[in-house]
């Protein structure tokens, strides 16, 4: 087992105030209803960013909360790793926009694009850079304005996603607390199951993309569901093995919040009862990179992660990518 080298010194969250309830989709012209969405996904509502809100503003709010809780000033941060699948601009990274917004003038900053696994990938990358001596105080952020890349005319995807941001400050571990094990993997052969065909260099945005709506998220929901359960189950096993633990040693499982049925199947596989699983997908929908840090912050605020808690984080996303960590708080 790896000795903990890095711990989470403070966690923050921010979600836009506008809440979109399931029963509002009908008035937006979508042939769907609350009962279908709740039964298939567990989602009841999601937060949607307004025109003045973007990843820079949302991630800055979440980061400031994490920094305040960790007692860290912007000038102390020497690394910003930001996960997003909906960057504010294609160039430069959203991480540098956050770096400027915070005034973190000593920080190296870059984005990670591993879709819904991005924040977990970010923790693993930041831990590695801290272990190698390249950084001492890292800010790891997950932020999404998915409402800007969702096709609001496609009922099979529009009902699933939401906006928000979460962040954590990472510092050198003390008293045996921190990251006990990590695991991350990918399988790019499955990319077409969940992607945006147009808008990048391979298929630049043009009139055709505008017409066929190929610059929005497209997904084979049923296939994604199967792979999500398989990969998140594998990731739980691997992180538990790495920490020489079983599901019985875990105080709280915080899975990526995409669909309550995926969460239930993952928890069952890991041998963790639902009382020990944190779920907030009902109130936020799938916020991709932001999902796990937002859930972690809510779990901490609710007193479900306390001093000494052993927590299993697991995520899965487009790519496909999947990742997991065991952390002692």
Ligand X SMILES: CC(C)(COP(=O)(O)OP(=O)(O)OC[C@H]1O[C@@H](n2cnc3c(N)ncnc32)[C@H](O)[C@@H]1OP(=O)(O)O)[C@@H](O)C(=O)NCCC(=O)NCCS
User: CB of residue 290 vs ligand X: minimum separation in angstroms?
Assistant: 12
Would you count residue 280 as binding ligand X (CB under 6 A)?
no
Phi, psi for residue 176 in degrees, rounded to 5: 75, 10
User: CB of residue 248 vs ligand X: minimum separation in angstroms?
Assistant: 27
236 in active site: no
Residues 232-261 that bind ligand X (CB under 6 A): 258-259
Residues 106-165 that bind ligand X (CB under 6 A): 116, 155-156, 159
Would you count residue 319 as binding ligand X (CB under 6 A)?
no
How many of the other CB atoms lie within 10 Å of CB of 304?
16
73 in active site: no
Would you count residue 186 as binding ligand X (CB under 6 A)?
no
Would you count residue 43 as binding ligand X (CB under 6 A)?
no
- Considering beta carbons, is residue 40 or 276 the nearer one to ligand X? 40
- Considering beta carbons, is residue 215 or 320 the nearer one to ligand X? 320
286 in active site: yes
Residue 328 in contact with residue 307, Cβ under 8 Å? Answer: no
Q: What is the C-alpha to C-alpha distance for residues 167 and 293, in angstroms, rounded to an integer? A: 6
Q: What is the C-alpha to C-alpha distance for residues 79 and 192, in angstroms, rounded to an integer? A: 32
Q: What is the C-alpha to C-alpha distance for residues 162 and 155, in angstroms, rounded to an integer? A: 14
- Considering only CA atoms, give the Rg of the chain: 19
State which of residues 5, 23, 32, 264 lies at the interface with ligand X (CB under 6 A). 32
Would you count residue 40 as binding ligand X (CB under 6 A)?
yes
Q: Point out the residue whose Cβ comes nearest to ligand X.
A: 221
User: CB of residue 135 vs ligand X: minimum separation in angstroms?
Assistant: 29
State which of residues 81, 95, 228, 229 lies at the interface with ligand X (CB under 6 A). 228
Would you count residue 64 as binding ligand X (CB under 6 A)?
no
Query: What's the half-sphere exposure (Cβ side, CA atoms, 13 Å) at 212?
Result: 11
Residue 143 in contact with residue 289, Cβ under 8 Å? Answer: yes
Q: What is the C-alpha to C-alpha distance for residues 13 and 327, in angstroms, rounded to an integer? A: 19
The single residue of 22, 55, 116, 236 carrying the catalytic annotation is 116
The single residue of 22, 54, 259, 286 carrying the catalytic annotation is 286
Q: What is the C-alpha to C-alpha distance for residues 129 and 294, in angstroms, rounded to an integer? A: 24
Q: What is the C-alpha to C-alpha distance for residues 311 and 42, in angstroms, rounded to an integer? A: 23
Nearest to 304 by CA among 276, 265, 263: 276
List of residues 6+ apart from 306 with CB closer than 8 A: 329
- Considering beta carbons, is residue 108 or 219 the nearer one to ligand X? 219
Q: Which residues are catalytic?
A: 116, 256, 286
Task: Provide the binding-site residues for ligand X, judged by CB under 6 A.
Answer: 32, 36-37, 40-41, 116, 155-156, 159, 219, 221-222, 224-225, 228, 258-259, 286, 316-317
């Amino acid at each position: 087992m790896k000795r903990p080298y890095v711990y989470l010194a403070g966690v923050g969250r921010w979600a836009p105030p506008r809440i979109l309830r399931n029963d509002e989709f009908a008035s937006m012209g979508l042939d769907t209803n609350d009962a279908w969405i709740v039964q298939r996904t567990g989602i009841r509502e999601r937060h949607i960013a307004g025109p003045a809100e973007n990843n820079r503003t949302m991630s800055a709010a979440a980061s400031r909360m994490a920094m305040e809780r960790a007692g860290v000033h912007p000038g102390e941060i020497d690394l910003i790793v930001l996960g997003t699948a909906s960057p504010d601009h294609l160039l430069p990274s959203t991480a540098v926009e956050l770096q400027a917004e915070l005034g973190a003038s000593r920080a190296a900053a870059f984005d990670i694009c591993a879709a819904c696994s991005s924040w977990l990938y970010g923790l693993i990358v930041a831990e590695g850079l801290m272990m190698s001596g390249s950084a001492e105080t890292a800010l790891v952020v997950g932020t999404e304005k998915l409402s800007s890349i969702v096709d609001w005319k496609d009922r099979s995807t529009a009902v699933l996603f939401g906006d928000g941001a979460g962040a954590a400050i990472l510092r050198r571990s003390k008293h045996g607390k921190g990251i006990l094990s990590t695991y991350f993997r990918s399988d790019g052969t499955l990319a077409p199951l969940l992607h945006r065909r147009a808008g990048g260099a391979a298929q630049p945005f043009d009139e055709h993309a505008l017409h066929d709506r190929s610059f929005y998220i497209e997904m084979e929901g049923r296939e994604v569901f199967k792979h999500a359960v398989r990969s998140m189950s594998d990731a739980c096993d691997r992180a538990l093995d790495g920490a020489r633990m079983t599901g019985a040693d875990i105080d709280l499982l915080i899975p990526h919040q995409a669909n309550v049925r995926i969460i239930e199947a993952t928890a069952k596989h890991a041998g963790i009862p639902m009382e020990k699983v944190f779920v907030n997908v009902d109130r936020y929908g799938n916020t991709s990179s932001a999902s796990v840090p937002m859930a972690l912050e809510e779990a901490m605020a609710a007193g479900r992660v306390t001093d000494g808690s052993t927590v299993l984080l697991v995520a899965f996303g487009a790519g496909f990518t999947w990742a997991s960590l065991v952390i002692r708080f």
